[in-house]
Amino acid sequence: MSELDELFSAMETSTSTQAADFFKAGNYVVAPKSFEFRRGGYKGDSFIARFTVIESNNDDIPVGSTRSWILKLDGAKDKKERAFGDIKNFFFALQGMEPSSVPPFNKDKEPHQFATILFKAAVDANYATQNELDHLEFIGKPVKLEAVETEYEKKNGGGKGIFTKHFWGPAPAAKAA
């Protein structure tokens, strides 16, 4: 066996994965490239959105680069509910709405229900077809993102970690009248 064969002998049977580059603190305009619901992945069920950066004020994340946003969708109920709220805010922004201006669910159910339907259509082409929606409607549609890094204490004295909170809004040209 050659040195090259020996070095890469396990490549054929290895699991293919896509590594993710995440957003760091900054202000961006991004365009979605793909949406995925992944059941039972490395950290459980998750929603993964991949983006192309259109505008950036962070030199480490230049225009044209690709970044991902991953939300864990299982685990503690409060974490799951926060993730669902973040996803709804993202889909409000994609529709041209400022998430902070959307009335709460108990005041107006319709935008919340519609954002949920759009999410399901974005991650499942069959669901989109059954509901006469375009599975790719939001691919390439610009959306605004403010990423804010927050320091937190890791469990069991594991030191400090950085968590990035994502605040979505309509891209400037896409704001609803």
Residue with tokens 């950036």: 56
Residue with tokens 């305009």: 29
- Per-domain residue ranges of the chain: 20-174
Provide the CA 63 distance to its chain's centre, in angstroms: 18
Of the candidates 166, 149, 20, the one whose C-alpha atom is nearest the C-alpha of residue 93 is 166
Residue 75 one-letter amino acid: G
The predicted-structure confidence for 84-122, as pLDDT tens digits, reads as follows 999 999 999 999 999 999 999 999 999 999 999 999 999
Strand ranges (E), 42-142? 44-56, 66-72
d(CA 46, CA 88): 15
Of the candidates 114, 125, 124, the one whose C-alpha atom is nearest the C-alpha of residue 88 is 114
CB atoms under 10 Å from CB of 7, counted, come to 10
The predicted-structure confidence for 49-77, as pLDDT tens digits, reads as follows 999 999 999 999 999 999 999 988 887 77
User: Rounded to two decimals, what is the model's pTM?
Assistant: 0.82
